[in-house]
A = this chain, B = another copy of it.
């Protein structure tokens, strides 16, 4: 077994409202920035043990689908770093 690091990036789907993003956009505009939109997602770093990089990716894909993201409202990407 080897140790792997992976990142799961979770983003709200375009059709889903993001009230925190809208609030942040409002503050940035108030601060004088020419901002047109803000969407806030999650950047989740996972360290895990697996036989090889392929098995690590498979495990993290399952973690993302079953727990880390809500596939109804969110999209996610998995990247295995090492």
Contacts and interface: CB of A to CB of B under 8 A. Distances in A.
Closest 6 CB pairs of A and B: A41-B43, A34-B49, A43-B43, A36-B47, A37-B47, A39-B45
Given A1-B34, A42-B43, 4 more contacts: A9-B43, A31-B66, A41-B43, A42-B42
Interface string A24-35: 100110010111
User: Interface of chain A, helix or strand or loop or mixed?
Assistant: strand
A63 interface: yes
Copies of this chain: 2
Interface residues of A, number: 34
A66 to B, nearest CB: 7
A35 B9 contact: no
